[in-house]
Amino acid sequence: MTARYEQSAAYYERAVARIVGGVNSPARSFKSVGGGPPVFMHRGQGPYLYDVDGNRYIDYIGAFGAGMFGHGHPEIVAAIARAAEGGTIYGTPNPWEVELAERIHRALPSMERVRFVTTGTEAVMSAVRVARAFTGRPKIVKMEGCYHGHSDFALIAAGSGPSQLGTPDSAGVTEGVARDVITVPYNDLDSLGEALDIWGPQVAAVLLEPIVGNFGVAQPRPGYLEGVRDLAHRHGALLIFDEIITGFRVAYGGAQTLLGVEPDLTTLGKIIGGGLPLAAYGGRAEIMDWVAPLGPAYQAGTLAGNPLSMQVALAALEILSRPGVYERLDADAAYLADRLVQSARRHGLAVQLGRAGSMFTLFFCDEPVVDYRTAQRSDPERFAAMFRGLLDRGVALAPSRFEAWMLSVQHTRADLEETLQIAGEVFAQM
Cβ atoms of 313 and 273 within 8 Å: the answer is: yes
CA–CA distance, 332 with 326 (Å, rounded to integer): 10
Q: How far apart are the first and last CA of the chain?
A: 18
CA–CA distance, 230 with 225 (Å, rounded to integer): 9
Active-site choice (48, 147, 281, 372):
147
Active-site choice (5, 11, 186, 270):
270
Active-site choice (59, 242, 264, 371):
242
Phi/psi at 367 (5° precision): -125, 155
Cis peptide leading into 293, omega within 30 of 0? yes
Active site residue 147: yes
Among the listed residues 411, 220, 210, 241, the one whose alpha carbon sits nearest the alpha carbon of residue 325: 411
Active site residue 242: yes
Residues known to be catalytic: 147, 242, 270
